[in-house]
Chains A and B, each alone.
Chain A
Amino acid sequence: MNSIQFLLLISSALFSLGVFGLLTRRHAIGLLLSLELILNAAILNFVVFGRLYGHTHAHAFALFIIALAACEAVVGLAIVINLYRHRKTVLTDQMQLLKG
């Protein structure tokens, strides 16, 4: 098997596992973990194709994705901790404050 194909297979497997986690987890932090899996699959794809075609922007995009993933994790965890403090829950199906 070509190494590109193997890496693409790994990346799509990571993405599908992340989707599986997003659909099954109830804990809000568990959802964040699955989201990190999905972002890593995207980064891996960027780096593979950047290596294949020798393009610098792929690496730059991967760096931007890592930076934005850090931001997303910080804000998400702040929201989770605040929610835990006020509502005493971290389960996504019990967060119904905005439910009409």
Chain B
Amino acid sequence: MPSAEIMTDAVYYGLGFVTLMAAVWVVTLRSLFRAALCLGLVLAGVAGFFLLLHAEFLAFIQILVYVGAILTLVVFAIMMTERMSVSAEIISRRRVVVAGIVSASLFACLSLATQKVLWPHIREQDVVSTAAIGQQFVTVLVLPFEVISLVFVAVLVGAIAIAAKPKSSKRSA
């Protein structure tokens, strides 16, 4: 059905356009708060690509963890350090030019390397089901899965130890 294909293509291109525009805003906007909101748009766009690639579980995890948890945390941190972020983004023009050249050449290298290759077409029967992922996590990948939970505990303790206010000695450097 050609009309369905055109629809899918339109969804792909629209999602790509939104994602890239939001990504440009993330790195260029002066206000860090708005940049964080645009990062939320990028994450949602990537989650949309996951849905198009039949990775529904990952799409929901992306929304849940990235947009729900990490972004909220980042917004809180921006609010707590807000006084600094007003005059923060005054950078020299030379640095922007150099960074632009570096990242543009990086993009050119990556896209030249990947666009010439003839990738096989996506087949319908290659969809990875959520049940298969769960099966992997309790059989083959059980050790990394447990190590990740250990890392979570370490991060929790470490973050509390770093960010907690010292009780008695008030240092003012």
Contacts and interface: CB of A to CB of B under 8 A. Distances in A.
A58 B54 CA distance: 13
Contacts of B103: 16-17, 19-20, 23
B88 A90 contact: yes
Nearest to A50: B128
B49 A7 contact: yes
B171 interface: yes
Interface string B61-94: 1100110011001101110110011001111000
Interface residues of A, number: 72
B42 A51 contact: no
B62 A66 contact: yes
B144 interface: yes
Contact of A43 (B46, B90, B107): B46
A82 B64 CA distance: 27
Interface string A43-78: 110011011111111111011101111110111011
A19 B89 CA distance: 17
- In the complex, which range does the number of interface residues on chain B fall in? 35 or more
B61 A63 contact: yes
A68 B151 contact: yes
A52 B119 contact: yes
Given A20-B99, A20-B103, A66-B61, A75 B81 contact: no
Interface string A30-45: 1011101100100110
Nearest to B160: A78
Contact of A40 (B27, B43, B55, B69): B43
A4 B99 contact: no
Contact of A12 (B62, B99, B110, B132): B110
Given A19-B102, A68-B151, A81-B81, A47 B27 contact: no
Contacts of A21: 26-27
A56 B132 contact: yes
A1 B88 CA distance: 41
Given A3-B122, A4-B122, A56-B128, 15 more contacts: A13-B20, A14-B19, A16-B110, A17-B103, A21-B27, A26-B89, A27-B85, A50-B128, A52-B122, A56-B136, A60-B133, A63-B133, A66-B65, A71-B155, A84-B81
Interface of A: 2-10, 12-21, 23-27, 29-30, 32-34, 36-37, 40, 43-44, 47-48, 50-60, 62-64, 66-71, 73-75, 77-82, 84-87, 89-91
